[in-house]
């Protein structure tokens, strides 16, 4: 679970890793706020990864055993449950949701750490990158949204754009640099939103979620579902995200 300990905020940098913080023009994010009424209702897949795409996938953040990743399907098999497209972690492991922050819970030999809450974990992101790159013509020109509420930086001097439930700072850079904030701080949060200039897809996450959602073409989603380094399942834009 996330451990948001109070920290002394540092002045926001002009760069976040190798991503450039945008201090003036937020128009590249306009499409996210101009999609029409009723689209992307709060608490749904489309609100996290943007509505209007042909298909969506849910990427499950792995649990862990001795700091090694554990798939939800592995935990489900051990608990006698199964993973459905809208399953929540506490349902998979047969646990009351109110107990998820109790560290001693786990199943010996199967898992001892819950899936990571927050935007895409770096190892999951590294597996996403090559798949996403194959499905855009503008991998060298991408945009990113970072929730301004992450505690270690004071982004108050930068303008933000709104998404359902969050205010985001706009970043720019190459797709290959999406994971670069961890070079600044190994515990840094990756951006919540990623999209290329050609808007071929959108990756969405949130501080309160244990999954990342991707909207894009059916070909992209098929690739994600087949990617060996990812645990993914198909999603619908109106699915609840938990």
pLDDT of 149-191, one tens digit each?
A: 886 677 778 899 988 888 999 999 999 999 999 887 888 899 9
Residue 97's Cβ-side half-sphere holds a number of Cα atoms within 13 Å equal to: 5
Which residues, including other chains, have CB under 8 Å from residue 218's CB and lie 6 or more apart? 54, 55
Q: Is the pLDDT of residue 25 over 60?
A: yes
**pLDDT score of 138:** 98
**pLDDT score of 153:** 72
**pLDDT score of 163:** 86
**pLDDT score of 5:** 45
Q: Is the pLDDT of residue 6 over 50?
A: no
User: What are the CA-CA distances from residue 29 to residues 11, 47, 119 (Å)?
Assistant: 24, 14, 18
pLDDT of 84-140, one tens digit each?
A: 999 999 999 987 655 554 445 689 999 999 999 999 999 999 999 999 999 999 999
**pLDDT score of 200:** 98
Residues 225 and 49: beta-carbon distance below 8 Å: no
**pLDDT score of 10:** 56
Q: Is the pLDDT of residue 44 over 60?
A: yes
Cα separation, 131 vs 238, in Å, equals 24
Residue located via tokens 């899936």 = 115
Q: What is the mean pLDDT of residues 28-35?
A: 83
- pLDDT confidence tier of residue 36, bands split at 50, 70 and 90: very low
Q: Is the pLDDT of residue 35 over 70?
A: no
Cα separation, 24 vs 78, in Å, equals 51
**pLDDT score of 104:** 56
Cα separation, 191 vs 18, in Å, equals 12
**pLDDT score of 94:** 86
Residues 79 and 93: beta-carbon distance below 8 Å: yes
Q: What is the mean pLDDT of residues 22-37?
A: 81
SS3 letters across 131-186: HHHCCCCCCCCEEEEEECCCCCEECCCCCCEEECCEEEEEEEECHHHCCCHHHHCC
- pLDDT confidence tier of residue 38, bands split at 50, 70 and 90: very low
**pLDDT score of 4:** 42
| Other Cβ atoms closer than 10 A to 122 | 17
Q: Report DSSP state, residue 29.
A: G
User: What are the CA-CA distances from residue 78 to residues 21, 101, 136, 211, 223 (Å)?
Assistant: 44, 21, 38, 21, 27
Q: What is the mean pLDDT of residues 222-238?
A: 96
Cα separation, 218 vs 55, in Å, equals 5
């Amino acid at each position: 679970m996330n451990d948001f300990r109070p920290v002394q905020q540092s002045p926001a940098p002009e760069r976040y890793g190798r991503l450039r913080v945008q201090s003036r023009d937020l128009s590249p994010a306009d499409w996210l706020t101009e999609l029409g009424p009723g689209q992307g209702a709060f608490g749904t897949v489309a609100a996290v990864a943007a509505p209007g795409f042909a298909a969506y996938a849910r990427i499950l953040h792995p649990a862990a055993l001795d700091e090694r990743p554990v798939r939800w399907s592995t935990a489900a098999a051990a608990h006698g449950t199964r993973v459905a497209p809208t399953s929540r972690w506490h349902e998979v492991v047969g646990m009351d949701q109110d107990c998820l922050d109790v560290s001693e819970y786990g199943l010996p030999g199967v898992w001892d750490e819950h899936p990571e809450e927050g935007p895409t974990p770096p190892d999951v992101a590294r597996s996403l990158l090559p798949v996403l790159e194959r499905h855009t013509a503008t991998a060298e020109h991408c945009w990113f949204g970072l929730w301004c509420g992450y505690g270690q930086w004071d982004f108050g001097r930068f303008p933000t754009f709104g998404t359902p439930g969050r205010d985001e700072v706009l970043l720019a850079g190459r797709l290959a640099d999406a994971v670069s904030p961890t070079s600044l701080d190994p515990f840094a949060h990756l951006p919540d939103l990623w999209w290329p200039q050609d808007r071929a897809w959108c990756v969405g996450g949130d501080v309160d979620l244990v999954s990342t959602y991707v909207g894009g073409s059916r070909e992209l989603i098929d690739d994600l579902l087949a990617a060996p380094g990812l645990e993914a399942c198909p999603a619908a834009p109106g699915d609840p995200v938990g």
